[in-house]
Structure 1
Amino acid sequence: MSTSSTSSIDTPGNDTSTGVSNDGDRPSTSSLDLGVIGNCSYSALIDKLGRIVWCCLPRFDGDPVFNALLDPGESGSLWSFELENFSHSEQWYEPNTAVLKTRLYDTLGQGVEITDFAPRFPSRGRFFRPQTLVRRVLPLNGAPRLRVLLRPRFDWGRELPKITRGSNHVRYVGTEMTLRLNTDAPISYLLDETAFVVSRPFNFLLGPDETLTGGIGDTARSFEQETVTYWRNWSRSLATPLEWQGA
């Protein structure tokens, strides 16, 4: 699956999308032009607007907790960051990794950068590959306003989870599964789906119902650095023909 309509996806600025209106409405149809992240435990599909539209947990053949790829309407489930007065987006992979970058810009040129990845790296003599989605949002310039829509569903879309909250986490409780979001973003704005100013980096870790042993920001940064290092070391071991290295 490609994240670009051109031959290269390794640098920003090579692909743009204007797939939603400025009021943040969902597209009425799904696109198959998607990026993929994964760590050999699970995978997720992300469209050019930075929306997670498909993800099965806790395994590849598990419950599709995000299913907007097949159900793009209001009854579908997704995880999106919606920029007020959205204008266009760019998307690419961090070179030689499975770490996906998406930039959203508004009509004033203000923007945010979303980093999406599934942690995978060696730790304590084995591979650490948790069933955790990590999303990091960084402001690029100005004072962009962002709305977070985190709407998982369980039991193949039939069950809406019960929601409980703490000071830095939200729990999505289902009959057979519970997900926990650990975040340093404002919880009340997230639950109310209200836009807020992105004045600093925000981190989101969605996974099993477990507390983090470290700080949210420190954990997200460490996971990203370790994951990038793993994928680049892995890429060096590939015997990829020269003509395919930019694909």
Structure 2
Amino acid sequence: MSRHIYETGIIGNCAYIAHVHKNTNIKWMCWPRFDSSFVFGGLLDEKKGGEFSIKPSGDFTSDQYYLENTNVLCTEITTDTGKYKVTDFAPRFEQSKRYFRPLMLIRKIEPLEGNPHIKIKCEPVYDYGKTELKAIRGSNHIEYSGSNDAIRLTTNATIAYIVEDQYFILKETKYVILTYGQPMEAAVETTAERFLLETVAYWRTWIKRSSIGDFYQEYVIRSALALKIHQFEDTGAIIAASTTSLPEFPGSGRNWDYRYCWLRDTYYVINALHHIGHFEETERYFDFITDISFEEGLRYQPLYSITRQKDLVEEIADHLEGYRGNGPVRIGNQAYEHIQNDIYGQALISLLPLYTDHRFVFTERKDSADLVKRALERIENTIDEKDAGIWEFRNSEYMHCYSNLFQWAGCCAALKIATTIKDEKLEKKAIELKERAAKHIEDCYDEERKVYTHAVGSPYLDASTLQLIMMNYLDPNSQKAKDHLIALEKELKTEGGLFYRYLHSDDFGKPETTFLICAFWYVEALACVGRIDDAIREFENLMPYANHLMLFSEDVDEKTGGMWGNFPQAYSHVGLMNAAYCISNRLNKPLYLTTEMLK
């Protein structure tokens, strides 16, 4: 059986993300926001998803790569008659002391050899493929009407060939610029070239200013670049993925809309950004989380939209066939209604940098005692109740070990903050709740098997409990931590180094694919307990599960190594970054995880 691979790369500028297939087609792009309707959605329906391609008339081969240390993507197409290159990018650079990140996709098409015979096809759609936009020809542009705002293609190529769907010989470099809202009125060639040079320079400078160790540096750089463009810069939110409804495995029905910001991932994202030394992104994300903390009552939702909208009603787009015929296509995510109690601890941990990172000035942290108090009240309100857990079970509730672990960790953070600001009342409350959370965690311990189960009264094991080691609830040097890790790897690890979240049945039956971030957690846990050679070996075993551009999916099929789930998954890349950092620190110096601050 051949391995299933997502044959696309992503470009973006922190305002939108586009997926470019190896055949040059824009297979997925939502405008004007990450969670808007797609303009191109061939990923979910070849007929109704529209198309934006630059294909040759005959058979061809393709080579796709990023310009080094950038989010600028090149696709070289070779045919019998010639060879050409398409360079795709979303402009991003500093201009007038702010970031220029327009809703603009630029495609540079240049001949490399011979006389390539090509056709530029641009057929955007809207309302998730229900609306075909009408093309209105201009002198050097095409206006597409029918969406919420004007979409315009501006080009130095022959307009008639595009409108009339004709091939032509590519003799000189052509530029195709697609915009949403504000049209591109400047000179096409000079503007596109300037934007390209500025964008390349921006990304390379961003990487030069990153703190990235030597261990698998090229993969960490690609992961950092991918994570960066998953941040919606306007609000600071970071989405789980830019896609919806790519199935966890064929016919599973496990098709979810991931174009939202999950609070459960706060700690991991902040850690990853901290490790590469990017304060600006951390600060924006922190602002997004604290705005939620101030506005909400005793309960948070597990996830919010990129603008903190709360009603993410899940609907089925039954007019779309789904990825390779795998429906349903979901828009929205019903998980916003779930009870997920680890998120209060996640929010508290996110406050900790205010007191440990002196890049935050005192005026930015002096009023946050109220935030800490509110967060502790939320933990107290939920610490003894069952929830849907990190994996968001839809029809079952447990007293989850993982939920109580992050409540425990949040209380550790609150205790450190309270000590720093000399608030004895807050200290006492944090200690009391920390002990209550620990009691629930210990109720999950199976003495006979020497392992913590996923929930109180449950025999099942869960990869999320690896975090007991990384969060320093279990001393990584203790035999208890080592035994716990051995029990988990014995049951949940595959021969190829992949890791299942769990193996028991859930709302949709038994999972058939592994969850990639769990494999990176496993690597991190190995490094934490001192099994550094094992950690390096297992990390290296995971690298071949990337696609041709070093991008990783959410899920991996154990038997075939196939990529499944939404793609690329931001948190798979976060897992890679954190695991690589952990190994790098172990190789170069004693490991001091940021979670040491919680002890």
Q: 2:86 aligns with which of 103, 110, 114?
A: 114
Q: 2:61 aligns with which of 79, 88, 91?
A: 88
2: distance between equivalents of 1:179 and 1:211?
Answer: 8
For residue 209 of structure 1, report the CA deviation from its aligned partner.
4.3
Aligned residue number for residue 34 of structure 1: 8
SS in 2 for 1:246: helix
> What whole-Å deviation, never above 9, does each CA across 1:132-154 have from its counterpart, x for those lacking one?
01100000011111011111101
For residue 237 of structure 1, report the CA deviation from its aligned partner.
1.2
**TM-score, normalisation: structure 2:** 0.35
2: distance between equivalents of 1:200 and 1:60?
Answer: 34
The structure that is helix-richer by fraction is 2
Matched, 1:68 2:47: no
* Greater C-alpha radius of gyration: 2
* Consecutive unaligned residues in structure 2, runs of 5 or more: 220-599
Identity among equivalent pairs (%)? 35
Contact 1:171 1:209 (C-alpha < 8 Å) held by counterparts: no
SS in 2 for 1:243: coil
Aligned residue number for residue 161 of structure 1: 133
For residue 50 of structure 1, report the CA deviation from its aligned partner.
1.6
Aligned residue number for residue 48 of structure 1: 22
Q: 1:128 aligns with which of 100, 105, 117?
A: 100
Aligned residue number for residue 197 of structure 2: 225
Q: 1:189 aligns with which of 157, 161, 164?
A: 161
SS in 1 for 2:215: helix
For residue 87 of structure 1, report the CA deviation from its aligned partner.
2.1
When the two structures are aligned, how many residues end up with a matched partner? 217
For residue 241 of structure 1, report the CA deviation from its aligned partner.
2.4
For residue 60 of structure 1, report the CA deviation from its aligned partner.
0.6
For residue 231 of structure 1, report the CA deviation from its aligned partner.
0.3
SS in 2 for 1:157: coil
SS in 2 for 1:214: coil
Aligned residue number for residue 237 of structure 1: 209
Aligned residue number for residue 27 of structure 1: none
* Consecutive unaligned residues in structure 1, runs of 5 or more: 6-29
Structure 1 residue runs of 4 or more that deviate by more than 4 Å after TM superposition = none
Taking structure 1 as reference, are residues 213 and 152 closer, same or farther at Cα in structure 2, changes over 3 Å only?
closer
2: distance between equivalents of 1:211 and 1:177?
Answer: 11
Taking structure 1 as reference, are residues 178 and 67 closer, same or farther at Cα in structure 2, changes over 3 Å only?
same
Aligned-partner residue type, residue 144 of structure 2:
Y
2: distance between equivalents of 1:77 and 1:214?
Answer: 27
2: distance between equivalents of 1:170 and 1:213?
Answer: 13
Larger relative contact order (Cα-Cα within 8 Å, sequence gap ≥ 6): 1
Which residues in structure 2 correspond to 1:197-212 (within 5 Å)?
Answer: 197-212=169-184
2: distance between equivalents of 1:211 and 1:45?
Answer: 22
The structure that is strand-richer by fraction is 1
Contact 1:31 1:69 (C-alpha < 8 Å) held by counterparts: no
Taking structure 1 as reference, are residues 112 and 37 closer, same or farther at Cα in structure 2, changes over 3 Å only?
same
Contact 2:49 2:128 (C-alpha < 8 Å) held by counterparts: no
1: distance between equivalents of 2:5 and 2:142?
Answer: 29
Contact 1:52 1:78 (C-alpha < 8 Å) held by counterparts: yes
Contact 1:54 1:78 (C-alpha < 8 Å) held by counterparts: no
Q: 1:99 aligns with which of 51, 58, 72?
A: 72
Contact 1:84 1:147 (C-alpha < 8 Å) held by counterparts: yes
2: distance between equivalents of 1:216 and 1:86?
Answer: 30
Aligned-partner residue type, residue 50 of structure 2:
S
Aligned-partner residue type, residue 212 of structure 1:
M
For residue 242 of structure 1, report the CA deviation from its aligned partner.
1.8
**TM-score, normalisation: structure 1:** 0.84
Taking structure 1 as reference, are residues 180 and 53 closer, same or farther at Cα in structure 2, changes over 3 Å only?
same
2: distance between equivalents of 1:55 and 1:114?
Answer: 17
Aligned-partner residue type, residue 26 of structure 2:
I
> What whole-Å deviation, never above 9, does each CA across 1:79-99 have from its counterpart, x for those lacking one?
111112232010000001000
